């Protein structure tokens, strides 16, 4: 099959920015400025993130790992000196003009943009008002970033459910500013330990459904991740264990949305499942459907779990996954998108070519859907 060089649009459904270190100090509401997110040096001269004036010890002295796409392969953890945030930040992460150049070099037409420092702080903040202030500051900045070229750069709003009423207000404000979707942290810490079906969240789900803004679950970085008890710090390979298991929070959030009846109750709510790979989705839908057959009378669903996925969800696949074509063929090309993850440390260049190669056996119309058309439809883009 001839490589489909004329496919367009090609849309990266999960790219990232690297927020400048002073983003929150510049964009946060004045009454919260003394508690803004920032980077400070500790007594050893090593960088660490500060959330609500408290140090975030994870990644201390290694903040460059929040970006790091240009680090040599396999090099994370081998640095001989402090790997600073600036050292790991290519211009395309924080400069919109440089990002357009990256898109051109990578043959990407458009990109949906998600935070980086923003995926770290929610587990460290307990003040609901501050959580919303952090989100509002970031959302203001990302809208300004994307205003450089609003036909190619699309802002995704960060919303925290730690503050249910503030989440609704900020959601409405961000939509008016041009945000096309919502990033929600998948972990319990970020919503105060409450389940998605908690009545406190009903106004949020109603609002995000009415605004037709897809919700996207994405991996997060925490000092105490949900799976921490399975890996003792200092154990050989614990870094690899942690990196691989980042996907579990996303898989769990998606499964909870289905099983708890959120998609049943909000039938036009849309959800993107991001940065957890995608080749697992076929087996997982089959597994949930089978378990549903066993206990259908005890769960708040009127359809099979897979039916909600097909009605309301998309899943992002990575260019380097080994069974993209087979899984896309099985679940259907209408339900799959792709992502570059630029400029994170586990991202790479040449991703469009790699993604095309991974789907080369599929019909051209299926490739078009995955590479861009599904994003246009799902997010209501021009």
Burial of 349 (0-12, 13-18, 19+ CB in 10 A): middle
Residue 77 lies in a domain: yes
Residue 1 lies in a domain: no
Q: Is the pLDDT of residue 285 over 80?
A: yes
The SS3 call for residue 149 is coil
Residue 5 lies in a domain: no
Residue 170 lies in a domain: yes
Q: Is the pLDDT of residue 3 over 50?
A: no
Mean pLDDT of the region 186-192: 94
Mean pLDDT of the region 256-260: 97
State the pTM of this model.
0.94
Q: Is the pLDDT of residue 2 over 60?
A: no
CATH number at residue 152: 3.20.20.140
Q: Is the pLDDT of residue 58 over 60?
A: yes
Q: Is the pLDDT of residue 59 over 80?
A: yes
pLDDT of residue 300: 94
Mean pLDDT of the region 221-241: 74
Q: Is the pLDDT of residue 350 over 80?
A: yes
pLDDT of residue 4: 42
Residue 344 is classified by DSSP as: B
Structural domain span for residue 229: 12-379
Q: What is the mean pLDDT of the chain?
A: 93
Percent of the chain at pLDDT > 90 equals 84
Under 8 Å between Cβ of 186 and 217: yes
**Main-chain phi, psi angles of 227, to 5 degrees:** -100, 15
Under 8 Å between Cβ of 220 and 58: no
Residue 3 lies in a domain: no
pLDDT of residue 77: 59
Residue 72 lies in a domain: yes
HSE-CB at 11 with a 13 A cutoff on CA atoms is 24
Which range (1-5, 205-209, 214-218) has the least confidence? 1-5
Residue 347 is classified by DSSP as: -
Q: Is the pLDDT of residue 225 over 50?
A: yes
Residue 111 lies in a domain: yes
The region that residue 107 occupies, defined by phi over 0 for left and psi between -120 and 50 for alpha, beta otherwise, is left
pLDDT of residue 75: 62
Residue 66 lies in a domain: yes
Give me the number of domains the chain comprises. 1
pLDDT of residue 79: 52
Which range (83-92, 227-236, 337-346, 358-367) has the least confidence? 227-236
The four Cα atoms 239, 125, 165, 260 give a dihedral, to 10 degrees, of 30
Which of 228, 225, 223, 246 is closest to 345 using CA atoms? 246
Under 8 Å between Cβ of 211 and 175: yes
Percent of the chain at pLDDT > 70 equals 94
Which range (39-53, 165-179, 217-231) has the least confidence? 217-231
Mean pLDDT of the region 264-288: 97
pLDDT of residue 1: 40
Residue-wise pLDDT tens digits, 307-336:
999 999 999 999 999 999 999 999 999 999
Pairing of strands 38-41, 47-51: antiparallel
Bridge partners (DSSP) listed for residue 174? none
């Amino acid at each position: 099959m001839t490589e489909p060089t004329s496919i367009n649009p090609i849309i990266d459904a999960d790219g990232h920015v690297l927020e400048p270190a002073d983003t929150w100090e510049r964009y946060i509401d004045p009454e919260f400025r003394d508690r803004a997110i920032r980077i400070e040096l500790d007594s050893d001269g090593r960088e660490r993130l500060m959330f609500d004036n408290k140090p975030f010890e994870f990644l201390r002295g290694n903040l460059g790992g929040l970006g790091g796409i240009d680090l040599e392969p396999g090099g994370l953890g081998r640095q001989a000196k402090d790997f600073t945030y600036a050292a790991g930040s290519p211009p395309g992460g924080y400069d919109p003009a440089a990002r357009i150049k990256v898109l051109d070099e990578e043959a990407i037409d458009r990109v949906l943009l998600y935070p980086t420092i923003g995926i770290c702080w929610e587990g460290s903040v307990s003040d609901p008002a501050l959580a919303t202030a952090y989100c509002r500051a970031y959302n203001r900045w990302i809208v300004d970033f994307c205003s450089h070229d609003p036909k190619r750069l699309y802002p995704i709003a960060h919303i925290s459910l730690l503050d249910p009423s503030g989440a609704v207000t900020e959601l409405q404000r961000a939509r008016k500013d041009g945000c096309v979707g919502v990033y929600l942290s998948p972990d319990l810490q970020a919503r105060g330990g409450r389940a998605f079906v908690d009545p406190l969240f009903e106004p949020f789900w109603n609002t995000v459904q009415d605004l037709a803004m897809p919700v996207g679950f994405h991996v997060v970085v925490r000092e105490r991740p949900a799976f921490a008890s399975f890996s003792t710090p200092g154990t050989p390979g614990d870094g690899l264990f942690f990196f691989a298991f980042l996907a579990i929070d996303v898989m769990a959030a998606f499964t909870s949305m289905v099983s708890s009846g959120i998609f049943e109750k909000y039938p036009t709510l849309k959800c993107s499942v991001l940065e957890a790979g995608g080749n697992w989705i076929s087996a997982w839908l089959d597994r949930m459907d089978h378990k549903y057959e066993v206990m259908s009378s005890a769960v708040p669903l009127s359809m099979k779990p897979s039916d909600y996925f097909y009605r309301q969800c998309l899943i992002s696949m990575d260019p380097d996954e080994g069974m993209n074509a087979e899984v896309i063929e099985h679940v259907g090309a209408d339900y799959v998108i792709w992502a570059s993850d630029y400029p994170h440390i586990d991202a790479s260049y040449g991703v469009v070519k790699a993604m095309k190669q991974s789907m080369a056996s599929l019909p051209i119309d299926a490739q078009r859907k995955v590479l861009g058309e599904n994003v246009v439809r799902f997010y209501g883009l021009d």
